[in-house]
Chain A
Amino acid sequence: MELNVSDLTVIRGGIKVLEGVSFAVRAGEALVLRGPNGIGKTTLLRTVAGLQPALQGEVSLDREQMAYAGHADGIKAPLSVTENLEFWAAVFGTGSIAPALQAFDLEALAARPAGALSAGQKRRLGLARMVVTGRPVWVMDEPTVSLDTSAVQLFAEAVRAHLAGGGLALLATHIDLGLAEARVLDVGPFKAKPPALEDFDGAFL
């Protein structure tokens, strides 16, 4: 399995943010996207995950192969940790949630309502959902926000296990996860050039 992104142009609010983005990620590999705030990392990830259409270019894998994790975790506060994960397990048609609980050290919190979790614990629950989806491609936007050092280690372990199982991951993060399998791609050079204004003036002449 290989994720090929070729000549992708992504738009946000009708304005091109990145153009000509090309990269390839093979099974067992992780690609970390870097770049300053507002460069378009989130837009790129959402486009790859199929949440919004690209202006141009292609993503080789189908969105049915991908699991997406955004800034929000999609956690329902009145449901318990177990119920939250079991819901996603049922939606994605996967079996046990025990490995996911274990991977993110959530067993002790399993019966607690998700609304009573701390920000870092909520994030761990949101990341545990990725394990539950059972999909080979993880597309994650700032997964380490509000995680402490040991939780970042847990996350790195989970990504490593995912990659070892033949999966691949596309991450936008500024923290060094210490993953040997990870390559870094700076999206800065793909920044879209501002549209030429000559044609606009020409229309009035």
Chain B
Amino acid sequence: MIALLMRDLKLAIRAGGGFGLGLAFFLIVVVLVPFGVGPNSGLLSKIAPGVLWLGALLACLLSLDRIFALDWEDGSLDLLATAPLPLEAIVSVKALAHWLTTGLPLVLAAPVFAILLNLPIAGYGPLVLSLLIGTPALSVIGTFGAALTVGLKRGGLLLSLLVLPLYVPTLIFGAEMARRSIEGLNAQTSLLMLAGITCAVIALLPFASAAVLRVNLR
């Protein structure tokens, strides 16, 4: 399992692996929003948590179809399925590798990008915390979507449509937590809901992902 994780990380970092794609997209969204909204720092700081969360979510979505598509094309998915690793472990490792190469950089970059959106000082901690708790759910749900659409040519559109509704609860509670903290309200409920969603998808979805992968490999 560690070998698979290391291989995926190596592939992501080397040329053509798509590392940084999500980060660049996130940067573009965050840089362009102030131009679109206009130079109103009050308005910007009001929408900052939502925009940052939305940018992170879309950046995550961008790289989802690579999770299994590359392994499917070159045949290594077949070979992995016959390897002594259970498919549930394979999909979990794939989701972890996706989070480490996409989710984690977004979490780390968010406080820097938040300056561009004039996020109030009180919002930095809660925003990073909510992204840290919420982005693993995005990767795990995305892996499920990628497993569903593996083998489809240009499956990215279908993948986005399938995954977006599943992302909604994470987005709502993640942005809500950051927003409530900024306004000085109690954000504990949002935090617990967000953590609950993440725990539930990490516990349950790998089994669903492995099952659909088995069907798709036939």
Q: Which of B10, B81, B82, B85 is the one whose CB lies under 8 Å from A79?
A: B10
**B82–A50 touching, CB < 8 Å:** yes
Task: Give bound CA distance, A79 to B17, whole Å.
Answer: 11
Nearest chain B CB to A109 CB, angstrom units: 18
Contact A73 B75 (CB under 8 A): yes
Mark contacts of B69-90 with chain A using CB atoms, 8 A cut-off: 1 yes-contact digit, 0 otherwise.
0010111111111111100000
Report the tally of A-B residue pairs with Cβ distances under 8 A: 74
Q: Is the CB of B4 within 8 A of A83?
A: no
Q: Inside 8 A of B4's CB, which chain A residues have their CB?
A: 87, 91
Q: How far is the CA of A65 from the CA of B217 in the complex (A)?
A: 19
Interfacial chain A residues near B78, Cβ < 8 Å: 51, 68, 70, 72, 74
Q: A73 to B74, Cβ gap below 8 A?
A: yes
Q: Are A78 and B75 in contact (CB under 8 A)?
A: no
Q: Count the A residues whose beta carbon is within 8 Å of the partner chain — how many?
A: 29
Check B79–A74 contact: CB distance below 8 A.
yes
- Inter-chain CA distance A172–B71, complex, in Å, is 24
Within 8 Å of chain A (Cβ to Cβ): is B161?
no
Chain A residues within an 8 Å CB radius of B83: 88, 91-92
Residues on the B chain within 8 Å of A68, using CB: 78-79, 82
Q: State whether the Cβ of B218 lies closer than 8 Å to any Cβ in chain A.
A: yes
Residue in B17, B84, B218 whose CB lies within 8 Å of A92: B84
Near B by CB (< 8 A), chain A positions 71-94 give: 71-79, 83, 87-88, 90-93
Q: Give chain A residues whose Cβ lies under 8 Å from the Cβ of B218.
A: 51-53
Contacts A52-B218, A87-B7, A91-B4 given: A74-B74 contact, CB under 8 Å?
yes
Q: Is there a chain A Cβ closer than 8 Å to B11's Cβ?
A: yes
Contact indicator B82/A76 (Cβ below 8 Å): no
User: Which of A49, A71, A91 has the most B CB atoms < 10 Å from its CB?
Assistant: A91
Q: A52-B218, A79-B7 are in contact. Are A93 and B75 (CB under 8 A)?
A: no
Q: Which residues of B contact A70 (CB under 8 A)?
A: 75, 78-79
Q: Are B217 and A52 in contact (CB under 8 A)?
A: yes
Cβ-neighbour of B82 out of A66, A71, A93 (below 8 A): A66
In the complex, which residues of chain A have a beta carbon less than 8 angstroms from the beta carbon of B2? 90
- Give the Cβ gap from B202 to chain A, nearest Cβ, in Å: 23
A52, A74, A79, A83, most chain B CB atoms within 10 A:
A74
Which residues of B1-46 are within 8 A (CB) of A?
Answer: 2-4, 7, 10-11, 14-17
Q: Are B82 and A72 in contact (CB under 8 A)?
A: no
Within 8 A of B (CB), among A47-69: 49-53, 63-64, 66-69
- Contact B75 A74, beta carbon cutoff 8 Å: yes
A76 touches B217 (CB 8 A): no
Which of B74, B75, B79 is most buried by chain A, counting CB atoms within 10 A of its CB? Answer: B79
CA of A68 to CA of B80, assembled, Å: 10
A160 at the interface (CB under 8 A from B): no
A41 CB within 8 Å of chain B: no
> Would you give 5 A-B contacts (Cβ < 8 Å), ordered by A?
A73-B75, A74-B77, A74-B78, A87-B7, A91-B83
- Across the A-B interface, give the 8 residue pairs with the lowest CB-CB distance, nearest first: A72-B75, A90-B3, A74-B76, A78-B14, A52-B218, A74-B75, A74-B79, A68-B82
List residues of chain A with CB under 8 Å of any chain B CB. Answer: 49-53, 63-64, 66-79, 83, 87-88, 90-93, 129
